Chains A and B, each alone.
Chain A
């Protein structure tokens, strides 16, 4: 970085690439060349910055000026102002959403301010496609130490002492896993990385693999040395082509540099690494299924024990760790167990990466110390719920994907640790947090997840294969107005049967979204059944829409937005919905800025104003 006056970091994570950041980078290079600045200002493509919603993102070092949503046509102006006249351009900077205050420095932006970067320490700083960049940041120092100067026992001790637990979902202590595999005697062992990030709404692993692929590889080398493996696989979803590309470049570069492959750093230790692309089956995130998949078979989980650490891939002892876990390992080796434990709680040490999505202002990727409360994540980092002025409020957060559950507003002060999240009925999972506001229907949400698990059940255990389908049918009945008394109890009973009768984590956790929504939002289920009323207006067959004539200003926004032209009215006078034409699409509700849309039960013929009192 030294010889340039400034470094211009262009985010090239999947999110920003989708909003054309690569074109922006080219434009910068062209413009700088035109101005004769190409020797002074270096343009670097980096991995995911994390603040995906604001892409394409540009940061300028050393001042750490943060620019958002930069388009190709903005480039000449920005170069002129910032790099020639030396005036950072305010209009492209981040603005705090409620007060509209401009915040120039990245570290002052609340989204970044509350984060502690350990696993993501290189995000936005290095070019993930250049091994030199990684090495400058102490890269491969830990693996060099592990391979040349540490015994497997020493490595395992540090990892165990650090208390790090698997970041993939279950939270099994990593050191214990390594130890039990190291104990096995075998002619061949395998070290594998689980990059089959399947939870909808989660993209931590994708971002890590894209932003810092070498950290994952380094973690695998250390693990391989600890357990005595000479061969490894990184299993990546086929949906992540950029991650596959960058990992492959990283493997090639590391092998070329003698940091990976045969006789690493002349230590006599061999470790070969290969990428294995998945083929689209959620269940392959389960460890035994993933190994069957690498073997080229149907990825169907098997009964354990024997555990994979005893008989895994091709029957040999195998360790499978999550991407984030592995990326954290090099820092633990370098800085020690106490450093890692200095953050987090007693049983959930260190930091955790979360992806924030759904109804939240700052969608993106964050890394925070374990034990932070959900409230802090929602309001301090996430910037709250969008549409506060239209009455939108935080309602729940879904954690753990299809295996997890919904944590309601009443539990917003729950600290985010493995144990505390589990107590709510959800699970930590891999770290996907999908936020919901008061316009989301929780019965619909449960149905969405059941659709997912019904589809993704591998079919081996009938309770999961058939049971989830029956639950889905019941939930469809509920959302379409065919619910009847006793359905909630049937759903609960089925849930327990499925949990008990399934072999793997998918079936054992598939009912969680239903159970937690029943636990915390039972009244919503009941109003769907008894009153045929979806109070948030999502389930079309259970709603009637009205306009509150006392509030409506007659602005005409809903009238223009209505796809079936069901709204009539004169300008500046209250509008009205013609019920016979209305298709209950809720567009008017989403459009109205004055909260004048009232949602009533199906075929409601009474006075709409009476509904407001409910």
Chain B
């Protein structure tokens, strides 16, 4: 596995590159060297690297400038720094730019190996999350639909809540990017939009599952034992209220009285109301939705 990993070591002292090479190649990593920031950028334009280990103080293009370039142009590359001046200030600057870790100079082989191994582990852990984030970028058609909807409400007083409701119908939930678009489109400060989103329980900033399970926590349902039903769902789907299952099939929500008290205890899945639900039959009902696709 280690030989898949390509690392670029950047330092104006050739001896540092040499010793890094010796230590890390022995571990099976692929190591290239660059004698300064400019050379590093040229090298990275040629081929991708998983990590860059760089000095901070270098003539011409220094470490901080290099890190800024990497963050902008090669965001997938992880950055480690070597520094002979582990002063609070320089480290702080670098940390703010999003480096993974640092190696104080002078260092022993063990320290270097340890830092690199930890960086690799960290990156592997965070990678899937980032991949997921990319997935959640919305198709342009959806955004166009959103913009069309927003502009149809422009200049209408008091339209924020209806717009948010429609937006949630279109996108499924209200992530910051959607809120920002609404803020721009309606000319309402983003803080105010967020204030409204966080106030009303109808709005959610988390994605929802294909099927939405709403459990009624009204008085009548409480008296008739809805709590045990809720426990059963939580136990079986391994999620809490307001959460979504790992396969994104179901999200679980608790609602205030659905006004169907004659049928208590009540649970609504998508648009179907299920009456007199018991802990015994609740999972049977939910299982029926497992094979069904997302709601229309």
Contact = CB atoms under 8 A, between A and B. Distances in A.
A297 B192 CA distance: 8
Contacts, number: 145
A322 interface: no
A200 B217 contact: yes
A276 B275 CA distance: 28
Contacts of B261: 52, 201-203, 355, 357-358, 363, 432, 434
A588 B223 CA distance: 17
A282 B165 contact: no
A398 B222 CA distance: 13
Given A239-B255, A276-B162, A281-B200, 4 more contacts: A14-B258, A201-B219, A238-B202, A401-B219
B200 A203 contact: no
A19 interface: yes
Contacts of B217: 200, 452
Nearest to B153: A296
B158 A357 contact: no
Nearest to A358: B223
Contact of A282 (B203, B222, B256): B256
B259 A280 contact: no
Given A18-B260, A357-B261, A434-B223, A296 B165 contact: no
A314 interface: yes
Interface residues of A, number: 55
A536 to B, nearest CB: 12
Interface string A413-432: 00000000000000000001
B161 A19 contact: no
Nearest to B266: A18
The 8 closest A-B pairs by CB, nearest first: A52-B262, A18-B273, A296-B160, A200-B218, A279-B200, A203-B259, A280-B202, A357-B220
Contacts of B275: 15, 18-19
B120 interface: no
Interface of B: 157-162, 164-165, 188, 192, 195-196, 199-203, 217-224, 228, 255-264, 266, 271-275
Nearest to A444: B222
A198 B262 contact: no
B226 to A, nearest CB: 11
Contacts of B257: 198-203, 239
Given A15-B260, A52-B263, A357-B262, A279 B219 contact: no
A17 interface: yes
Contacts of B266: 18
B196 A296 contact: yes
B54 to A, nearest CB: 48
Contacts of B161: 276-277, 279, 293, 296
A239 B258 contact: yes
A51 B221 CA distance: 17
A432 B222 CA distance: 14
Contacts of B157: 295-296, 314
A509 to B, nearest CB: 15
B133 to A, nearest CB: 27
A53 interface: yes
A522 to B, nearest CB: 21
B162 A297 contact: no
B196 A298 contact: yes
A281 B201 contact: yes
Nearest to A359: B223
B220 A358 contact: yes
A276 B158 CA distance: 10
A52 B158 contact: no
Contacts of A364: 262
7 contacts: A52-B263, A200-B257, A203-B261, A239-B255, A281-B199, A295-B157, A357-B261
A294 B223 CA distance: 33
A19 B276 CA distance: 10
A15 B262 contact: yes
A150 to B, nearest CB: 31
B259 A279 contact: no
Contacts of A199: 257
A585 B231 CA distance: 12
Given A15-B263, A240-B259, A434-B219, A277 B165 contact: yes
B259 A14 contact: yes
B272 to A, nearest CB: 8
Interface in A318-365: 355, 357-359, 363-364
Interface of A: 14-15, 17-19, 51-53, 55, 197-203, 206, 238-241, 276-282, 293-300, 314, 355, 357-359, 363-364, 398, 401, 432, 434, 436, 440, 448-449, 452, 456, 458, 585
Contacts of A17: 273
A538 to B, nearest CB: 10
A294 B158 contact: yes
Nearest to B201: A280
A434 B219 CA distance: 7
A227 to B, nearest CB: 20
Contacts of A355: 261
Contacts of B219: 200-201, 357-358, 398, 401, 432, 434, 448-449
A270 B261 CA distance: 38
A436 B256 contact: no
A282 B258 CA distance: 13
Contacts of B256: 198, 200, 239, 280, 282, 452, 456
A277 B159 CA distance: 11
Contacts of A206: 259
A19 B277 CA distance: 12
Contact of A197 (B159, B259, B264, B273): B259
Contacts of B158: 294-296, 314
B157 to A, nearest CB: 7
A82 to B, nearest CB: 25
B50 to A, nearest CB: 46
Nearest to B228: A585
A243 B222 CA distance: 24
A241 B259 CA distance: 11
Nearest to B164: A279
A552 to B, nearest CB: 24
Contacts of A279: 161, 164-165, 200-203
A613 to B, nearest CB: 29
Nearest to A277: B165
A203 B258 CA distance: 8
A358 B201 CA distance: 26
A239 B262 contact: no
Contacts of A15: 260, 262-263, 275
A612 to B, nearest CB: 26
A510 to B, nearest CB: 15
A455 B257 CA distance: 14
A357 B222 CA distance: 11
A80 B276 CA distance: 31
B262 A277 contact: no
A81 B158 CA distance: 56
Nearest to B227: A448
A55 B262 contact: yes
Nearest to A300: B199
Nearest to B268: A18
A293 B162 CA distance: 10
Given A239-B256, A297-B196, A359-B223, A18 B263 contact: yes
Nearest to A590: B225
A298 B195 contact: yes
A143 B279 CA distance: 50
Contacts of A51: 262
A280 B165 CA distance: 11
B219 to A, nearest CB: 4
A28 B221 CA distance: 32
Contacts of A240: 259
A358 to B, nearest CB: 4
Given A281-B201, A296-B159, A239 B165 contact: no
Contacts of A401: 219
Contacts of A440: 223
Contact of A299 (B199, B222, B260): B199
